Structure 1
Amino acid sequence: MEFSELSDYVLKGNVEKTAEGTKWMLEHGVDPLRIINEGLIAGMNTVGVLFKKGDMFVPEVMRCAKAMSGAVALVKPHIADADIPSRGTVLMGTVRGDLHDIGKNLVVMMLESQGFQVIDLGVNITPEQFVDAVVKHQPKVMGMSALLTTTMPGMSETIKALEKAGLRDKVKVMIGGAPVTLAFANQIGADGYASDAGSAVELCGRFVA
């Protein structure tokens, strides 16, 4: 079993083969960190590139992410938490009044596959809940999602709540979702806008660099 084979299983979204390959490597003494970095993450890196180019679609990416996350769960007991490098904490949530989460969930999975620790608040999150979570988790980045134009004002309200709490300069704010635009992000004072999951990962990478 080579790392390239494991990466290919991830790329194909083959949950069973990815798990089997990971178990084989662990049983044969392969360094757990190399399994994650050179096998699993390498596969998801390719997924991210293809998704951004439009050569892969959301259901396929979610299968790939599922294959990877299942394999990472197998590897984690073999690694001390301190040995797993984290690129930083990202807080994610869909704003108040909005119950859509497919896009957010995809961003969460892709961020985790790139070494970020993600705190997923879920859907219908109020400005106060975002603020409380920033205080509790001290993330480097906070991401807000909306799929409805009627819930987009919740993004502006949340940024204002961060300002009122004296936290605005403590966290980078990125927003996204089907009706969201760069112009809207600039208008409400967000730090960045992501048009898709791949862009969100790149944006977080720039924010924590």
Structure 2
Amino acid sequence: MVNFAKIYNAVMEGDDDIAQEEAQALAQQGVPAMDIINHGLISAMGEIGVLFKAGELFVPEVMMSAQTIAGVIEMLKPQMATEMDSRGTIIIGTVKGDLHDIGKNLVALLLSSNGYTVHDLGSDVDAAEFVRAALEHDADIVALSALLTTTLDNMEQTIAAFSAQGLREQVKIIVGGAPVTAEFAAEINADGYSEDALGAVDLVNKLMEG
């Protein structure tokens, strides 16, 4: 039975070196990349999410662990490419006028680790850029993030831009961020909403399954 405790603990502690060393050792033992990611990385991030919500961990600690995960995923990408095809293409970004990106970065990281091809447009992204990227990369899903209530209207405007281009039938659009609610998502005709990063992965999986 494969023991993922060392890499799990390294992620919890934000120890890049140990996490990558252990991931490499597991890969050399023939452990599939997705097993390393799911049992070593995602399980740890789930626990980190619980501790963060409980106030036992804070943003700097969460980001250290997220960076540790990112380093391991980057190292495993060649192995992932040989083991599996992309599960779908995701465009993600924070909407125009909003520079916050911690939550968005975490969602992008978790989607990548779950086998999706993710194109991260960054923050302060206008509607036209989301549309352009979706067309360029033949996106399956576009994920919009916002932290400021003053930028929520830009989510609606972005969805309207996709409708104006006749793309709403072929591209699913999901939304998230602290001020976003399921009710708001329904009002602006989004295809889904999640209150956290792990939930966003589940939502994308469901949408991709049809």
- Relative to the length of structure 2, the TM-score reads 0.85
Instruction: Name the SS for the 1:156 alignment partner.
Output: helix
Instruction: Indicate the residue corresponding to 2:47 in structure 1.
Output: 50
Q: CA deviation at 1:103?
A: 1.1
Q: Distance in 1 between matches of 2:35 and 2:81?
A: 18
Instruction: Indicate the residue corresponding to 2:118 in structure 1.
Output: 118
Instruction: Indicate the residue corresponding to 2:14 in structure 1.
Output: 13
Gaps of 5+ in 1: none
Select the residue among 17, 35, 38 that pairs with 1:38: 35
Detail structure 1 runs of 4+ shifted over 6 Å in the superposition.
none
Q: CA deviation at 1:12?
A: 3.9
Check 1:99–1:116 CA distance in 2 against 1; reply closer, same or farther (3 A cut): same
Q: CA deviation at 1:183?
A: 0.8
Q: CA deviation at 1:194?
A: 1.0
Instruction: Indicate the residue corresponding to 2:145 in structure 1.
Output: 145
The 5 Å alignment of 1:181-200 reads: 181-200=181-200
Q: CA deviation at 1:186?
A: 0.4
Instruction: Indicate the residue corresponding to 1:62 in structure 2.
Output: 63
Instruction: Name the SS for the 2:96 alignment partner.
Output: coil
Check 1:10–1:122 CA distance in 2 against 1; reply closer, same or farther (3 A cut): same
Check 1:187–1:129 CA distance in 2 against 1; reply closer, same or farther (3 A cut): same
- Relative to the length of structure 1, the TM-score reads 0.86
Gaps of 5+ in 2: none
Q: Distance in 2 between matches of 1:113 and 1:65?
A: 11
Q: State the identity %.
A: 38
Q: CA deviation at 1:3?
A: 4.2
Q: Distance in 1 between matches of 2:40 and 2:62?
A: 11
Size of the alignment, in residue pairs?
A: 204
Native 8 Å contact 1:7 1:40 kept in 2: no
Q: CA deviation at 1:137?
A: 0.9
Q: Could you tell me which amino acid in structure 2 is paired with residue 173 of structure 1?
A: I
Q: CA deviation at 1:2?
A: 4.2
Instruction: Indicate the residue corresponding to 2:95 in structure 1.
Output: 95
Instruction: Indicate the residue corresponding to 1:169 in structure 2.
Output: 169
